[in-house]
Chains A and B, each alone.
Chain A
C-alpha cells in the first residue's frame, strides 16, 4: 500500500486566529521528514489534521489518495505521537502496550518490550507514576513499535535525557532500515536531529517557507567570509540570510545555487567558503528579522 500524503491548501483557524494558512505539501511515502517551526508556527495544528484529530477549516488532505478523516482503513495506519497527559492513567506500562497493540495492525509487541528494556522503562509501574522523560520514552516505544506506515512524532523527546534521545534516534534509523515507512518528525532541536532527515519542511506563521531534501538544502546555502568590500561584491543579487561583521571581515550566509563560475571566482578572490547548517538556515528563515 502506497500511502503518499497530499495536502492541498490546508488552513486551520481557531476563531479569528489562523494557525495554518493554505499549506500545500506532497510527501511521498517511505521517507523521514523533518518538520521545523518555532513555537506557535502551526506544526501541531497541521499534524493533528493529518492524524484526523480535527478537520481542516478549509482545504483537502489525502493519504494514499483517500480522505483520512473517519476513514478506518487510513486512520489505523496513522500514528500520532505527542506529549500525552498521563496524570490520570493508572494502567501499567506493559498492560498499556498490550492494549495499544490490539489496535495497530503492524504492531510488534516483542520490539516494544525490547525498546522498553533499552529505555529502562519499568513495565510494572503505572503510567502516571513515570517521570516526564519516561513517559516520553513510553510514547516513543509505542510510536516505533506500531510500525504505522505514517508515523508522526511531535516533539516526542520532551523531558528525555541525552542518552535516551540518542537511543531514540538510533532505533528510529535502524527500524526504518528494517521496516521503511513515512516518519514526520516535528522538532525545534534542529542541530541534534538534522542527520535523521531526508527531507526538511520549515513552516513559519502558518506557512511553508521551505521544502527541500536535506542534501541539496545544506549544499545550496554557503557562508562566504572575507574582507567586507570583496564579500559585498560577490553577494550582489544573492539571497542573503545573515550578515556578521567583525572589523573589516565580513561573514555572509547566502541561500541559492552558486554556479561553478561564481564558486571559482570566490576562491580566486581569496574568500573562504563554508557550509551552512540546517540550524542556521532554520534560525534565519524563521527569525523575526527575516521577512520573505
Chain B
C-alpha cells in the first residue's frame, strides 16, 4: 500500500511542478498584455469602452479559466500515456492528476492577489480593490473562493473532454463537449458570473434567482463529483494510445 500512495504523491508533485511552470509562463503573458494595454492607453490609443476599467486581477480571473481548460485537455492526452508507459496505473494517475489540479486551483488565488497588489503599488491603484469585487459583495474571500472553485472545474472539464476524445475518437468525443457545456452553464449560474449565456438561451428556466454561498458551494461540489466520476469511468480501463 505504501508503494501505491507514493506513486500518487510522485505523480501529483511532478504534474504540479510542470503545470505550475506553464502557469508562470501564462501569468507572464497576461502581465505583458496588461502592461501593453496600460502603455497603449497612456499614449492615447482609442480603446473600447470598459477596457479602461480592466485591472490585472479582472483580466487574469477570466483568462485563467481558458488556461485551465487547455491544460486539462493536455493532461488527458499527454500525461495519461506517459505515466502508464512508465508503469503507473490509470487509477494512480487519476488520483495524482486530481491532486495536482487541486494544488493549482489553490495556488492561483494565492498568486493572483499578490501580483495584483504589487502592480497596484506601481500603478498607484487601490490595491484592496478590483472591479470584480462589486460582483461578489465586496468580499475578497468570496471572490477568491469562487475563483478557485471555478478554475478547478474548468480543469476538470478540459480533462473530461480530452479523455472523451482520447477514448472515443472525434465523433463521439464531441458529445463530451456538450456535457461540459451543460456542466459549465450550471456552474456559471451558481456563481452568477458572466451569467451563463448558454444556460439562459437554451434552458427554459430563468437564472435570475439569488443563490446563497452554501448553495453555490454545494452545487459546485456536485459538478466536481459528477465530472470526476465521468473522467474515472472514461479512463478506468482505457486503451493507451501508442
Contacts and interface: CB of A to CB of B under 8 A. Distances in A.
Given A72-B92, A76-B87, A103 B240 contact: no
Given A53-B239, A53-B240, A54-B239, A70 B90 contact: yes
Interface in B79-122: 83-92
* Residue of B84, B85, B87, B240 with highest tally of chain A CB at under 10 A: B87
B240 A72 contact: no
Contacts of A79: 87
Interface string B32-75: 00000000000000000000000000000000000000000000
B89 A70 contact: yes
B7 interface: yes
A54 B235 CA distance: 11
A88 B78 contact: yes
Interface string B1-22: 0011001001000100000000
A44 B242 contact: yes
Contacts of A72: 3-4, 7, 88-89, 91-92
A234 interface: no
A66 to B, nearest CB: 13
Nearest to A78: B87
A268 interface: no
A75 B3 contact: no
Contacts of A102: 10, 14
A80 interface: yes
Interface residues of B, number: 20
B242 A82 contact: yes
B217 to A, nearest CB: 33
Contacts of A104: 86-87
A53 B84 contact: yes
Interface in A57-108: 69-73, 75-80, 82, 84, 88, 99-100, 102-104
B84 A103 contact: no
A44 B10 CA distance: 29
A137 B125 CA distance: 56
Contacts of B85: 80, 84
Interface residues of A, number: 26
Contacts of B86: 100, 103-104
Contact of B10 (A71, A77, A103, A148): A103
B131 interface: no
A103 B10 CA distance: 8
A interface secondary structure, majority: loop
Interface string B213-225: 0000000000000
A77 B88 CA distance: 10
Interface string A166-190: 0000000000000000000000000
B172 interface: no
Nearest to A99: B14
* Residue of B78, B88, B242 with highest tally of chain A CB at under 10 A: B242
A272 interface: no
A148 to B, nearest CB: 8
A211 interface: no
A223 interface: no
A75 B240 contact: no
Contacts of A54: 239-240
Interface of B: 3-4, 7, 10, 14, 78, 83-92, 237, 239-240, 242
Interface of A: 44, 48, 52-55, 69-73, 75-80, 82, 84, 88, 99-100, 102-104, 148
28 contacts: A48-B239, A48-B242, A52-B84, A53-B84, A53-B242, A54-B239, A70-B90, A70-B91, A72-B4, A72-B7, A72-B88, A72-B91, A73-B3, A75-B84, A75-B87, A75-B89, A76-B87, A76-B88, A77-B87, A79-B87, A80-B85, A100-B86, A102-B10, A103-B10, A103-B83, A103-B87, A104-B86, A104-B87
Given A76-B3, A84-B242, A103-B86, 15 more contacts: A48-B242, A52-B84, A53-B84, A54-B239, A55-B239, A72-B3, A73-B3, A75-B84, A76-B7, A76-B87, A79-B87, A102-B10, A102-B14, A104-B87, A148-B87
